[in-house]
Amino acid sequence: MSIENKTEFILEMRGLCVDGYSNEGWMPILKGIDLNLRRGEILGLIGESGAGKSTLGAAAMGYVRDGTRFASGSVNFDGIELTFATEAQKNALRGARIAYVAQSAAASFNPAHKLIDQHCEAPLQHRLRTKTAAQKDAIQLYEQLRLPNPKEIGFRYPHQVSGGQLQRAMTAMAMSCRPDLLIFDEPTTALDVTTQIDVLSAIRDIVRVYNTAAIYITHDLAVVAQMADRIKVLLRGKEIEEAPTRNMLLSPQEEYTKSLWAVRRFKSPSKPAPKEGEKSLVSLHNIHASYNKNDKIVDDVSFEIFKGMTVAVVGESGSGKSTIARVMTGLLPPDQGNVRRMDKPLPLHYKSRSREQLRQIQMIYQMADTALNPKIPVCEIIGRPAEFYSGLQGAELKGRVEELLELIELDPAEYYNRRPSELSGGQKQRIGIARALAADPEIIICDEITSALDQLVAEGILRLLDRLQRELNMTYMFITHDLATVRAIADFIVVMKDGKVIEKGTKEEVLRPPHHSYTELLLSSVPEMDPDWLSDLLKQRG
């Protein structure tokens, strides 16, 4: 049954509720959302993880993921009621009149088929074009989205194309039937800042050219400011507020929105510079490293880390920054060069390092989900390194674990026996920090530890690390692609590109103009909360 009722809106939602199935039965994910979208308009949806943004985006296509269901309310697409529509009716719309652009293009393209075949699938499925016409159209869209070699790139397989290009190819695929409505689900979250700019401007141009309405889902305010005409803020399945972009940026009304806007104001106060002639705690000397002989990942990298300081290693994916961490910890012995601690060489392979040397360098990982064993309770995760390195037993060990839990601001009484699956993302990352601290290390290597977290949570982690640094005189090496994090926490910055150090120095030296041209490119590519930022930047760059 479909209710025909044309209005000025291409999409209307009224009191939409979607439930998700969990251990406790059906729980609401969306709790009564109202939404109006005019033809050709872009609505930004913003919120933290768990806010229900993706569920809302999928619901706009009449799609509910496995384990979720429409509970009540309506989704009306151009007069067609999607909550009542049959699967066949919805299939006729999907891809043809409503199209979807997913977060990870690498995972959302089928690895077994060429890009252009996947592109042409929807037009052929919906009998809108012949194969030749669809291919010709694909090449035209590739050109409009400024993909290199538009005539040839479609005939490659997904793994042969870079992430930023895949994301644009996916946008082209979504445009293949010239839909009335596009759903963008965090399309640039997985990309480097420099690549993000190309994708954002390509997306913005193409929806303008074809006057396509769009819902743009993201957790990044600065990004949504560039893309959307209006912004809607979600929190735990409810709308907090909605307003035109400029109003929303200038004068958010609700407390929650203000807190989102205020994030990233955190700045660690600068520390006194190391004394003249002070020995560096850890230093790298002319490191060359590779995973196989022909493919050099790290090329002649040297820098020093002083006690009590935070060194940020910044670069895009593939710049070799994580490899540096593997070299320091001895997981990957370098081809050339050496690693020194207090000016004495450390054995290059971790197996040749003494337990004491292993204790001194600890790591925290990006994905707390995969770095913590889900079956082991928190007390063992933290207790194990404390026992291994310090030989603590029984009550002493328990005391130490409780002390560590207090250090990371989790109540020992509540969290001592929990398992990682019973913790939130930010809490898991805190356990990762406690595990590193349990060894009582001299330096902690933090590998992209905030990039999988929401901004508010990430800020909490940065504040915690900063506090620990002051209290314990801890030293950090911070590996990140996020310049906002660098601004917040770094004392020294090492900028890397293609395995080489492009620039290094104190934060003031690196961040104050004049910049090295690559640093300038990185800095200027970080989106700002100004709706005109992208247009101005593109104008400047010509």
Spatial distance between the Cα atoms of 253 and 494, rounded to a whole number of angstroms: 40
Which of 159, 293, 375, 539 forms a contact with other proteins (CB under 8 A)? 159
Which of 74, 91, 290, 329 forms a contact with other proteins (CB under 8 A)? 91
Contacts of 109 (CB under 8 A, 6+ apart): 115, 118, 158, 166, 169, 170
CB 303 within 8 A of CB 284: yes
Reduce the DSSP state of residue 216 to 3 states and report it: strand
Q: Residue 109, interface with other proteins (CB under 8 A)?
A: yes
Reduce the DSSP state of residue 31 to 3 states and report it: strand
Nearer to other proteins, 156 or 353 (CB): 156
Report, in Å, the least distance between residue 201 CB and other proteins. 23
| Number of amino acids touching other proteins (CB under 8 A) | 31
Report, in Å, the least distance between residue 448 CB and other proteins. 21
Token pair 């490899």 is at which residue? 323
CB 322 within 8 A of CB 364: no
Cis peptide before 158 (omega within 30 of 0): no
Q: Residue 157, interface with other proteins (CB under 8 A)?
A: yes
Nearer to other proteins, 54 or 245 (CB): 54
Spatial distance between the Cα atoms of 169 and 120, rounded to a whole number of angstroms: 12
Which of 1, 24, 25, 111 forms a contact with other proteins (CB under 8 A)? 111
SS3 sequence of 406-420: HHCCCCHHHHCCCCH
Residues 372-411 binding other proteins (CB under 8 A) are none
Residue 343: CB atoms within 10 Å? 9
Q: Residue 102, interface with other proteins (CB under 8 A)?
A: yes
The two structure tokens encoding residue 203? 């997306």
Q: Residue 93, interface with other proteins (CB under 8 A)?
A: yes
Report, in Å, the least distance between residue 228 CB and other proteins. 21
Q: Residue 122, interface with other proteins (CB under 8 A)?
A: yes
CB 455 within 8 A of CB 262: no
Which of 3, 15, 113, 302 forms a contact with other proteins (CB under 8 A)? 113
Residues 168-227 binding other proteins (CB under 8 A) are 173
Q: Residue 350, interface with other proteins (CB under 8 A)?
A: no
Report, in Å, the least distance between residue 184 CB and other proteins. 12
Q: At what angle do helices 193-209 and 163-174 cross, to 10 degrees?
A: 10
Which of these ranges, 43-51, 133-141, 156-164, 272-280, lies near other proteins under the rule CB under 8 A? 156-164
Which of 121, 205, 335, 498 forms a contact with other proteins (CB under 8 A)? 121
CB 202 within 8 A of CB 233: no
Q: Which of 3, 20, 133 is nearest to 79 (CA)?
A: 3
CB 74 within 8 A of CB 51: no
Query: DSSP string of 362-403?
Result: EEE-S-HHHHS-TTS-HHHHHHHHHHHHH---HHHHHHHHHH
Nearer to other proteins, 111 or 391 (CB): 111
Nearer to other proteins, 156 or 285 (CB): 156
Give 212: exposed, middle or buried? Use CB within 10 Å, 0-12, 13-18, 19+: buried
Which of 83, 108, 194, 357 forms a contact with other proteins (CB under 8 A)? 108
Q: Please report how many Cα atoms fall inside a 13 Å half-sphere around the Cα of residue 238, on the Cβ side.
A: 4
Nearer to other proteins, 24 or 295 (CB): 295
Spatial distance between the Cα atoms of 382 and 389, rounded to a whole number of angstroms: 12
Which of these ranges, 90-98, 274-282, 300-308, 326-334, lies near other proteins under the rule CB under 8 A? 90-98
Spatial distance between the Cα atoms of 475 and 360, rounded to a whole number of angstroms: 11
Q: Residue 153, interface with other proteins (CB under 8 A)?
A: no
Reduce the DSSP state of residue 488 to 3 states and report it: helix
Q: Residue 2, interface with other proteins (CB under 8 A)?
A: no
Which of these ranges, 105-113, 213-221, 243-251, 387-395, lies near other proteins under the rule CB under 8 A? 105-113
Which of 18, 59, 96, 282 forms a contact with other proteins (CB under 8 A)? 96
The type of residue at 242 is E
The two structure tokens encoding residue 300? 């002649």
Which of these ranges, 100-108, 249-257, 407-415, 523-531, lies near other proteins under the rule CB under 8 A? 100-108
Spatial distance between the Cα atoms of 494 and 370, rounded to a whole number of angstroms: 27
Which of 100, 216, 389, 492 forms a contact with other proteins (CB under 8 A)? 100
Which of these ranges, 106-114, 243-251, 473-481, 519-527, lies near other proteins under the rule CB under 8 A? 106-114
Residues 48-77 binding other proteins (CB under 8 A) are 61, 63, 65
Binding site for other proteins (CB under 8 A): 61, 63, 65, 90-96, 99-100, 102-104, 107-113, 121-122, 125-126, 156-157, 159-160, 173
